[in-house]
Amino acid sequence: MARLSKRGFNNVVIFAMLGMIFLFNLDRFVPESQQPVSLPLLPENAHVLKIEQSGFKLERVGQLWRWNGVNKTLSSTPEAQISQWRNAVMQPAKPPREITQTEPLIAVVWVAGASQGLVYAFVAKDQNLWVQFDQQWYTLDEVRLSQLLPWRADEQEM
């Protein structure tokens, strides 16, 4: 067994501490992989109060949902619409220039406990549905704009 002086032992302790600090912070030194992450369209466990788009609304009334501002019979139901919003998944994507230059359709989702609504900008183009949320662009797979906003089903989808 090697004998260390007090000074030598202090150096061992210092280097051991530096090694531990390095190990505990190793995740900061290694770059994270930039793999795209899919996100739900609505935050998980969010208590949605209302979805607004132009003069149309889908709003919660007790345990049920109702449309406000819709003057025609729709093929969907309010419950089916909110279900589509809850089940939709956004995939990060880089949109082509024509998507970013197209005037989007704005929808605002009001969630309990939030002072401001969640703003979604939708652009439907070539069988794809693009959505801008929090300054990021995403695509929605297996979802059509007419499912999220059924009052627009009769109108031409951009």
pLDDT digits (tens, 9 = 90+) for 94-145: 989 999 899 999 999 999 999 999 999 999 988 889 999 999 999 998 899 9
- Terminal-residue alpha carbon distance, the chain: 80
Q: Report the predicted TM-score, pTM, of the whole model to 2 decimal places.
A: 0.72
How much is the pLDDT for 87? 93
CA 49 vs. chain centroid, Å, equals 17
How much is the pLDDT for 35? 60
User: Counting every residue, how long is the chain?
Assistant: 158
Q: Is the pLDDT of residue 157 over 50?
A: no
Give the count of beta carbons closer than 10 Å to the beta carbon of residue 106.
13
How much is the pLDDT for 158? 41
Is the distance from CB of 38 to CB of 90 less than 8 angstroms? yes
Kind plus residue range of the DSSP H or E element containing 78: helix 78-87
Q: Is the pLDDT of residue 155 over 80?
A: no
Q: Which residue has the higher pLDDT, 142 or 157?
A: 142
Query: Mean pLDDT, to the nearest integer, of 14-35?
Result: 83
Q: Is the pLDDT of residue 36 over 70?
A: no
Q: Which residue has the higher pLDDT, 37 or 63?
A: 63
How much is the pLDDT for 156? 44
pLDDT digits (tens, 9 = 90+) for 58-106: 999 999 999 988 877 788 899 999 999 999 999 999 989 999 899 999 9
Phi-psi region of 31 (alpha: psi -120 to 50; beta: other; left: phi over 0): beta
DSSP 80-91: HHHHHHHH-EEE
What CA–CA distances, in Å, run from 119 to 1, 100, 108, 109?
A: 68, 16, 5, 7
